[in-house]
């Protein structure tokens, strides 16, 4: 119910259509129900061999009704299409905008593929149900009510006959649906697993082929596929009961009505009930039973899309964990950073803190290197600076002010992070670079690329800065991508620039040139460099050695060589050949 309320809010500007659609359907049904009634009169008048004018009168009314019903039906169909597509549009809109409000920890909770599914498949499912609800869910009950009213007009006795079959029908169909639903839920899960294994297989095809595991994969897939098949077959077999049940009800009703009807007509000498009346009752009876079947199908549809609806609501109700303070600071003074007793964990339930009791001071304009083993929390550390995550304890200050007091936009404009897992988007090189500053001039872009040592290869591309980058940046190499990402970050003209292992695919010489450019061209910017290579951080003003979520040592290259064991070890492993140190 609660989920429903949240979803309903997305109808918004399509309220008119959402209301008009069932309204016109109600009208359509009303007319449709009148049609057999008039038809009965028509038949009776034919039967009574009435004058042509009499037949024409009834016929004319019927044609008029048909035309009206067509208009109402078409209008409601149109409104329904607009309302449901609009509803889906708003859902997608809200989902997408909501995700834009997410913080990193919100994003971590949902995987990319699950977000995509929610925005596409799940929305489509809900849209279909919505369409069902405003059309069929109104139509069928109306049909039942009107039809029953009409049959009562014709013959109370016959009405009673088909009304008595209804409870049996409801019990039967409900029973089947109850049995089937759990299977469908299971099927969805199995389907997910199946799709996941296909996905893995496709993206890991090199591993599959190089280990010659094609047959093994086929077997694995076959098993998963069989499971889907078995469950689906069981569900479908159960569903196969619905039609016969439906038919039994219809046929029983028909035979009973025929008998009772015939008896009534003959006994009363065509007065209490007429032949035309009998055929109308049959039509109405059929309509009622069909409508009941439709209602049961709607239940199946809706309960199937409940899962989808819940998944959507889950995103819509996710609270962005990082919010602007009430009176945010709108300016970052300089690029100084300090960590005071900072502790941090990705989840509150984590046994071990990711960062524990960090104290650091970085002055504005300094170059700081961070080094440490895989999993020593280097990335976690720097992500706190631009408030990509919030600390659990202690505080991180930029320009002397706690990051939580800044306007998030202001802060992130001042602290430019080149992420380890970086992405370029489809669009031209310039368009990608303008993410850093959308008003950047061509010269500024070029300058940033020169600093990042990207100008040379960009210029060599067929269309230079207008070369299209393909989705996922597949047409540039790893090293080129990294350099473009650095250029993009530089265009922000930040107070603080953070490079998270951003030159790992760049050769050492270019890496050195980038650092030299930083030193010469942006001396006032605080530069924080996470790297694997000692050479990347060696000449930094300060090197931080991270170990297991704690700061193991801080100092210059020489100081650390003398005092820090980890640093020395790393240094030695990288210069073991040692021919040049001498």
Partner 1 sequence: MTKNKKNQPPMPHGKRPKPKKGTLKRVLTILFKEYKLPLAIAIVCVLFSTLASTSASLFLNQIVSRIEAGLQVGWTAATSNSIVSLLAVMAGIYVVGIIATFTQGRIMAVVTQNFLNSLRKKMFSRMQNLPIKYFDTHPHGDTMSYYTNDIDTLRQLVSQAIPSLIMSALTITILVAYMLYLSIWMTLIVFSAVVAMMFVVKHVGGNSSKYFLRQQKAMGETEGYVEEMMSGQKVVKVFNHEEECCKDFDEINNRLFEEASKAHSFANILMPIMGNIGNILYVIIAFIGGILILSPNVHNLSFSGQALGLAVVIPFINMTRQFTMNITQISQHFNHIIMALAGAERIFELMDEEPEVDEGYVTLVNAKEVDGKIVECKERTGMWAWKHPHEDGTTTYTKLMGDVRMENMDFGYTPEKLVLHDVTLYAEPGQKVAFVGATGAGKTTVTNLINRFYDVADGKIRYDGININKIKKDDLRHSLGIVLQETNLFTGTVMENIRYGKLDATDEECIAAAKLANAHDFITRLPQGYETMLTSNGSNLSQGQRQLLSIARCAVADPPVMILDEATSSIDTRTEAIVQQGMDALMKGRTVFVIAHRLSTIQNSDVIMVLEKGRIIERGNHDKLIEEQGKYYQLYTGNFANN
Q: Does the protein bind partner 1 through residue 579 (CB under 8 A)? A: yes
Q: Does the protein bind partner 1 through residue 324 (CB under 8 A)? A: no
Sole residue written with tokens 């996905």: 199
The closest alpha carbon to 181, from 306, 360, 51, 329, belongs to 306
Those residues whose C-beta lies under 8 Å from the C-beta of residue 300, and which sit 6 or more positions away, are 177, 180, 181, 184
Give residues 357-396 in contact with partner 1 (rule: CB under 8 A): 372-375, 386, 388
Q: Does the protein bind partner 1 through residue 97 (CB under 8 A)? A: yes
In whole angstroms, the minimum distance from the beta carbon of 352 to partner 1 comes to: 9
Sign of the alpha-carbon dihedral angle for 479, 481, 486, 487: positive
- Candidate ranges 4-12, 59-67, 360-368, 461-469; the one touching partner 1 (CB under 8 A): 59-67
Sole residue written with tokens 């689906």: 232
Give residues 328-357 in contact with partner 1 (rule: CB under 8 A): none
Q: Does the protein bind partner 1 through residue 131 (CB under 8 A)? A: yes
Residue nearer to partner 1 on the CB measure, 340 or 434: 434
Residue 546, φ and ψ in degrees, nearest 5? -100, 140
- Given 9, 15, 178, 209, the residue binding partner 1 (CB under 8 A): 209
- Given 512, 517, 522, 561, the residue binding partner 1 (CB under 8 A): 512
Separation of alpha carbons 13 and 375, rounded Å: 50
Q: Are 432 and 484 in contact (CB under 8 A)?
A: yes
Q: Does the protein bind partner 1 through residue 16 (CB under 8 A)? A: no
Give residues 409-468 in contact with partner 1 (rule: CB under 8 A): 409, 412-413, 416-417, 419, 421-423, 425-426, 435-436, 438
Q: Please report the DSSP string for 19-39 in residue order.
A: HHHHHHHHHHHHHHHHHHHHH
- Given 3, 30, 103, 166, the residue binding partner 1 (CB under 8 A): 103
In whole angstroms, the minimum distance from the beta carbon of 555 to partner 1 comes to: 18
Alpha helices, H only, 522-574: 534-537, 557-563, 565-574
- Candidate ranges 147-155, 156-164, 178-186, 196-204; the one touching partner 1 (CB under 8 A): 196-204
- Given 29, 72, 384, 540, the residue binding partner 1 (CB under 8 A): 72
Those residues whose C-beta lies under 8 Å from the C-beta of residue 564, and which sit 6 or more positions away, are 545, 552, 553, 555
The H or E element containing residue 148 is helix 123-154
- Candidate ranges 114-122, 303-311, 332-340, 359-367; the one touching partner 1 (CB under 8 A): 114-122
In whole angstroms, the minimum distance from the beta carbon of 98 to partner 1 comes to: 10
Q: Does the protein bind partner 1 through residue 92 (CB under 8 A)? A: yes
Give residues 20-49 in contact with partner 1 (rule: CB under 8 A): 28, 32, 35, 39, 42-43, 45-47, 49
Q: Does the protein bind partner 1 through residue 255 (CB under 8 A)? A: yes
The closest alpha carbon to 370, from 355, 350, 352, belongs to 355
- Given 96, 164, 170, 341, the residue binding partner 1 (CB under 8 A): 96
- Given 182, 325, 478, 523, the residue binding partner 1 (CB under 8 A): 478
Q: Please give the size of the binding site for partner 1, defined by CB under 8 A.
A: 172
Separation of alpha carbons 190 and 193, rounded Å: 5
Residue nearer to partner 1 on the CB measure, 226 or 521: 226
Residue 528, φ and ψ in degrees, nearest 5? -115, 125
- Given 259, 400, 459, 562, the residue binding partner 1 (CB under 8 A): 259
Q: Does the protein bind partner 1 through residue 516 (CB under 8 A)? A: yes
Q: Does the protein bind partner 1 through residue 159 (CB under 8 A)? A: no
The H or E element containing residue 11 is none
Residue 440, φ and ψ in degrees, nearest 5? -60, 140
Residue nearer to partner 1 on the CB measure, 48 or 170: 48
- Candidate ranges 70-78, 164-172, 398-406, 458-466; the one touching partner 1 (CB under 8 A): 70-78
Burial class (CB in 10 A: 0-12, 13-18, 19+), 156: exposed
Q: Are 384 and 344 in contact (CB under 8 A)?
A: yes
């Amino acid at each position: 119910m609660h989920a429903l309320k949240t979803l309903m809010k997305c109808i918004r500007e399509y309220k008119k259509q959402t209301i008009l659609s069932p309204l016109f359907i109600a009208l359509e049904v009303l007319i449709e129900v009148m049609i057999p009634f008039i038809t009965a009169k028509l038949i009776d008048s034919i039967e009574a061999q009435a004058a042509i004018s009499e037949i024409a009168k009834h016929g004319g009314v019927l044609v008029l009704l048909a035309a009206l019903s067509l208009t109402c039906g078409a209008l409601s169909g149109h409104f329904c299409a607009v309302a449901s597509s609009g509803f889906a549009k708003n859902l997608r809109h809200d989902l997408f905008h909501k995700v834009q409000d997410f913080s990193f920890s919100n994003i971590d909770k949902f995987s990319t593929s699950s977000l995509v599914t929610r925005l596409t498949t799940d929305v489509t499912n809900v849209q279909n149900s919505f369409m069902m609800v405003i059309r069929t869910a109104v139509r069928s009950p109306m049909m039942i009510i009107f039809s029953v009213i009409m049959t009562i007009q014709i013959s109370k006795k016959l009405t009673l006959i088909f009304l008595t079959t209804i409870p049996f029908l409801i019990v039967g169909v409900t029973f089947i649906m109850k049995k089937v639903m759990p299977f469908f839920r299971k099927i969805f899960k199995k389907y997910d697993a199946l799709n996941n294994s296909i996905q893995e297989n496709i993206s890991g095809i090199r591993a599959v082929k190089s280990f010659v595991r094609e047959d093994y994969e086929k077997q694995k897939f076959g098993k998963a596929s069989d499971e889907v098949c078995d469950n689906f077959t069981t569900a479908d077999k159960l569903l196969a009961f619905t039609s016969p049940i439906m038919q039994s009800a219809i046929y029983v009703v028909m035979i009973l009505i025929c008998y009772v009807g015939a008896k009534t007509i003959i006994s009363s000498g065509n007065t209490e009930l007429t032949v035309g009346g009998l055929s109308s009752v049959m039509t109405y009876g059929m309509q009622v039973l069909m409508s009941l079947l439709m209602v049961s199908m709607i239940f199946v549809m809706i309960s199937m899309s409940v899962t989808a609806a819940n998944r959507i609501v889950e995103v819509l109700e996710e609270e962005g964990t990082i919010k602007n303070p009430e009176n945010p600071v709108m300016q970052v003074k300089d690029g100084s950073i300090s960590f005071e007793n900072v502790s941090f964990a990705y989840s509150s339930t984590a046994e071990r803190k990711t960062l524990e009791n960090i104290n650091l001071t970085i002055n504005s304009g300094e170059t700081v290197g961070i080094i440490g083993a895989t999993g020593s929390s280097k990335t976690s550390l720097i992500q706190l600076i631009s408030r990509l995550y919030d600390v659990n304890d202690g505080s991180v200050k930029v320009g002397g002010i706690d990051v939580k007091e800044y306007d998030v936009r202001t802060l992130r404009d001042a602290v430019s992070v080149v992420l380890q897992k970086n992405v370029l988007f489809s669009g031209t090189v310039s368009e990608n670079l303008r993410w850093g500053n959308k008003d950047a001039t061509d010269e500024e872009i070029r300058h940033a690329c020169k600093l990042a040592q990207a100008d040379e290869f960009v210029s060599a591309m067929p269309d230079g800065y207008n070369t299209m980058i393909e989705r996922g940046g597949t047409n540039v190499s790893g090293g080129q991508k990294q350099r473009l990402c650095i250029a993009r970050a530089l265009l922000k003209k930040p107070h603080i620039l953070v490079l998270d292992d951003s030159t790992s695919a760049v050769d050492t010489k270019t890496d050195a040139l980038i650092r030299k450019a930083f030193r010469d061209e942006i001396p006032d910017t605080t530069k924080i460099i996470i790297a694997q290579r000692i050479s990347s951080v060696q000449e930094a003003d300060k090197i931080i050695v991270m170990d297991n979520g704690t700061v193991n040592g801080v100092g210059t290259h020489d100081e650390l060589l003398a005092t820090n064991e980890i640093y020395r070890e790393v240094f030695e492993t990288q210069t073991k050949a040692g021919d040049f140190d001498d």
